[in-house]
Structure 1
Amino acid sequence: MSELRQILDLARLAQSRGEEVCLVTVVGVEGSSYRKPGARMLLTRGGQRAGTISGGCLEAEVSKKAWWLTAEGASIQRYTSFFDEDSGIPFGLGCGGTILLLLERGQPALATLEALRRTLEHDEPAVALISIAEQNPGTRCIVSASGQVLFGDPALAPLAAQTLRNGTHTTLLPASESTPASGATPLFCERITPPPALWIFGAGDDAQPLAEFAHKLGWRITVADGRSHLARPERFPLARQVLTLTPETPLSLKPADAAVLMTHSYEQDHALLARLLPLPLAYLGVLGPRRRTRHIVKSLTQPAQNRLGVTAEEAMARLHAPVGLGLPGHTPAAIALSIAAEIHSVFAAPAAPECVASPAPAHAF
């Protein structure tokens, strides 16, 4: 189960019990840190927690102090893992960085959790604008991608729109005329986006471990296959949807999505590549030898019947073929690991200018 789902499930459980929660958010990092800005941990009054804000070195300490630190409102706490010979061993045990945490409860925490839920369950991005000033910190505004103010000050909505365009960042909000003495307020402007989506075309036994890895990484999973006896929800209980493919089946892939073809069927792969290659996907991979994929692409780019509008070389350049990193192993789990690792590397660095060449996967036969 993804970390975000664990946080939301615990929040729902606490709400059903009438139990107060405290939300801890990483809002700044200097130097090296295990978790990055936007990572969260949820605490309940009963002592339960979900999510992580470090590699395990801060969670217990923050859990102990969270309730009295937030007794009078939101709190900003700074933890460092820098140390020298004259200092004690700090939190982090030598990661070499500083982490800034926001601890918050009450309506701001509940509004943030609701925005996270909407993003996860309804694919609705949002922006959270969080003051990280030591005096009067906390969530100032949450705005959906449609412009709806979900919480806080509507005057900050234009800044939220800018964050949706430009991505997560930290900025300075000038002091208002009503509070000129306060100086500029540093804001952590977080773009909250839906988890990555993976489309697995092929519902064979080798697709099952890939779905499991994807679920562990928090991705939204769709499995589709033309073989109805394989494309069954009970075979892929972790998928959001399982489709039986026909030529008329709508495929609602988005530019940020990844797709993997592992149907083991030349005919299915041929039909799918005709539909998927024109799409600006984040990742498109094909299981099997490169020569097989090249043969399909050449047939799709014949001058007399080119349905793609690109040359065979241009089409091949869009593909990860054979799919996966060059990891050893021939079992379904090993192949799934190599595929998930390659997709994760693309999701984690979407703006990378080029791919670094790696050895051909062991399953490339």
Structure 2
Amino acid sequence: MTITQDSLLDGITARVIDTSRLRVNVLERTGDDPAAPPERTVVFVHGNVSSALFWQEIMLALPADLRLIAVDLRGFGDTETLPVEASRGLGDYSDDLRATLDALGIETTHLVGWSMGGGVLMQYALDHPALSLTLQAPVSPYGFGGTRPDGSRLTDDDAGCGGGGGNPDFIERLRAGDTTADAPTSPRSVFRGSYVASGYTGDHEDIWVASMNTTSTDPGTYPGDSVASTNWPGFGAGDVGVLNTMAPGHFNVSRIVDLDVKPPILWVHGTADAIVSDASFFDLNHLGALGAIPGWPGEEVAPAQQMVTQTRNVLTAYEAAGGDVTEVEFEGVGHSPHLERPEEFRTALLQRIGYAR
């Protein structure tokens, strides 16, 4: 679905570039200097079920002497739709990002990643240099679902994780491009109930919903495959597709603690995040404990993943090993601090990248 051009704010342009791996759509700010040095360049990476369109407001709010680029990941926005090899974790996305920066002539830069995009950046940092990482509501370094606080896996087949956890009605509504709020599983309802905290209002909700609806549901994309499991709730993670990239058997970037050169990190998150939290409403084990999914085998067997605690533990170890970490926690904010608290997000980002006129 090609809709980016119809969803651009004044001052933002889109173009598709050829890279060594795939065709990638990028958003840029009108008038930015393509020759800006790395320390004045910031690249934004979106999360799952979204696209680069979500970054437009913050791009327009940042100082005019920065060069700003937002990238559509494969299968999202107007970037080419290709299957995702989930057995590599988020490696396909990380490699795509490197190929995009190569095509743009950017050797290194400041990187900002949201949700799954934060996981992409942690994987990227394991493979390539970066000037800094800003992780907004990032997936845990141990993946999504199915782990104990120390990151160890609950089951060998990652039961309850990956592609089998995608809601079938939500997937059908994405496929149909649903823009209504007629059901709790419509993209608009999911945005209002999960992407932002209660009370959020904004001028561009139609664009955010359009962005969500660019998500490809072709085979090998969202949500991905699954396998039968003898463990509750009866399925385990597959090897292809978006949700499987973050299954703990495929994704573990806690090794960032051991990097010889550690990029400075800004970790931004909200206390009312429904998606990435220690009690996530997208974690089937937490839903089982609430009685929303029958047959839950109990806390000893299937505890909820402590996502924020895991991230804090890894980043604390990162700092103890010589890394520079700043945590900014927004009270009452959901999964999208850059939308919900844009001025505070802007200030924290500029401080992280060391911006000075």
Per the TM superposition, whether the score is higher than 0.5 is no
- What is the TM-score of this pair, normalised by structure 1? 0.29
Comparing both chains, which one has the higher relative contact order based on Cα–Cα distances under 8 Å and sequence gaps of 6 or more? 2
TM-score, structure 2 normalization: 0.29
Task: Name the structure where strand makes up a greater proportion of residues.
Answer: 1
Larger Rg: 1
